Structure 1
């Protein structure tokens, strides 16, 4: 998130755009070099600036970066000769941005102090604020969160002393970035709202204003406050319109962020037709960053999935997985979506393949997540210390004793409660296993013709002869045999029509038979069999996670599986597996 913010903000701050779009990059460069060679004064300085801006977009290439440095030095010398401090300041800023886009944060930290001194000396406070915010972002990217928090505080205090609303807003914006790293959404939201309020009264900061709206939408959506995102949209549009009026050009990136915000909001609320409208608008915007392509492909896959257009959904998610170099976290999100689509298509082997890829990626991410948590805790402490400026409590020692006493009581209560719950779970587990034993004996009797009971029928007395007439019991036995054969039980899309067609009976006859024998509807009976099959897989497939077992048994939403398992057995799948492992040691 932070890297995206740096790149987008940098592009907006310094207007790094290419000129003469009808020509190739090389033709533009050659033409500008000719202009530089034969002109003087402002025309020459402008051509120098346009030339180095072309190389800004290619600075990832080391050779192009060397050329860029040479061009920036040439432009700086020309700006000094002409006494144009504004162009000189732009040179310093663009050099810093080139380094930050290359991930060379030590170079950024080394260069920024001299640039800040220059901006302060010439009263270029807007540049000062923007570059200082990049300094804070560089410390964030290096993991020096305490230094970042300290710099954000100093930035805000200086701007407040100057009554500089733009500077104060920029400081709040960078502080929101720190809260974003900690996933402290309410604090991030507060900073962004204060930033936006200040920027409506400041001029020249429209790029940050529109970015603040974009990140505020993300924060609200993360907090599942979808209605507030829609209420914010008219304000957001006005901010973009103001940006375009001030810049005199169409702000495609700002519109792209706006469309993406509404698209993602409607995806989260399940309003896929509305999401498709904003996806179409987003695809018309001339921005082709990796982040934008990734978001569009995932959105397209989700929309096709919702419409049951599974081949199209699979093609979109495959594009997101194969053509983009995303983090393992993002790729796992796409793999999860692909699992759901493959499950809907009945391609069980490929579902398991995706599942194993997710497990492998999660193992690699574990260490990163642990380290990130430590960083978040340290950042939380530093931000609170510098931003909130809270006074130390004089009664800290007594307060700590009180907390320790409370924690001791809570731990004692938790320990006692866990003992009761564990005893209850063991009793339930033993009862389930006794029912399994009785079911096995009943199955042997059924095979020898000694009983008319249906073996292994969940939700019924395991050792009893089932109710209903012989024809109904025979039909239920056929139903059970059909469901347990050929993967039908784990088909998440199987319905009553498919079942009745396979058994060659009408719906009423099937419903009456199942109700008479089991006391359940056919679909309730199907779910009970799925849960029973999942329970047995928890015993026999320790290599699968609980979520993997749920997907394998046709439950596309793990939370639903957890709820139904507990309802059927009185114990959660996690507790069941733990007891099973304990008994098998």
Structure 2
């Protein structure tokens, strides 16, 4: 019930504000504040009506750029709400009011900048009344800047002569009024432009006497430039040509060419006049001169286009070079960042490998200590614990004796350092058969003959890697490996690292 009561109060205030006239500045301020307070609580069409009322109040009180800024800030909010509600008429009104506000503050550039978009929107949504008002703002903008000739020129060029003469008459009255009010300012240029439009309009309608009258009025003015003088002289020639007096027409067209040599159309007109004259037939020399002049103009235009193309090429080349340098810098920066990342990963990976290798070295050294202790115990043994008997021919006694003999050959004589040593060679040397040798070796050392040889060789290689300047190849040969590849493969297989990495980690 409380919510309904508050909504009722809001609606009551809103409609009271819409119907209550504000005659004083204090009343306007109060109305604006009230509308600003009530708008957030409104929705739908009521909110749009409130915005429209507030928009009108802001527009009616434009005094300076500060109030214009407030007006446009409100216009933005109003336009957003209108778009949200798909209210095209309100959107068109906002765009139109923005034009009027800019024109009121003499911001003509803003009018020119926004007029096309405004007209396009109004045309798209068939808001014809607003389109008429928008066109009116454009015309008023031209008039306030003194651009009367532009308006008249548009009407005259499109053959709308009645509208042109009406507009031209109003413009002429305005120029006379301005000349009277400000006598220090020369309005001859404005008058000449307007009279030129009059002359061309009457000439287009075939009223040559009136056209000539305006040409004579222009001739009486001072301060004309070559282009305008050439245009009026050409118009004189056209009038006399239309009357059939080709001599006077030729005199005027020669004067027009003399006044403005770049007036190409005057040269064509001269050729046409000469072709019509009975006593001055068109000569080949005259035609050739005209053609040569037109060709020269074409060459000048061509050269100018080439210069523009060269300039554009140089500009594009400079832009492309800057783009290339910028892209190179981007690639270089990306490469530098990638290099830093790669270097960081490499450093991290190496540190991890180094850490891992140091841990492996520690384990290998511990194993080395254990192996040396086990080897010392093995060397001190007088028996391998095989059941002892007094019969030297007993197999157990023979196995024990064979183990002791193998131990002496391998550990005391270091026979494993001979890369050519083989199981058959050693069993033959010790006077044993193959089966007994294999059985005794496996029982005494717990591994096969090749495995034990590699074990002893690797054990000997450890101190050489740590404390000598021998190369990997030299160490491999010294401990009994036939090739360095065999040494590296066996070392990697047993210790999970290469001999080179072991040496590096053990010395570091």
TM-score normalised to the size of structure 1? 0.27
Q: From the CA coordinates, give the structure whose radius of gyration is larger.
A: 2
Relative contact order (C-alpha < 8 Å, sep 6+): which is higher? 1
TM-score normalised according to structure 2 size: 0.30
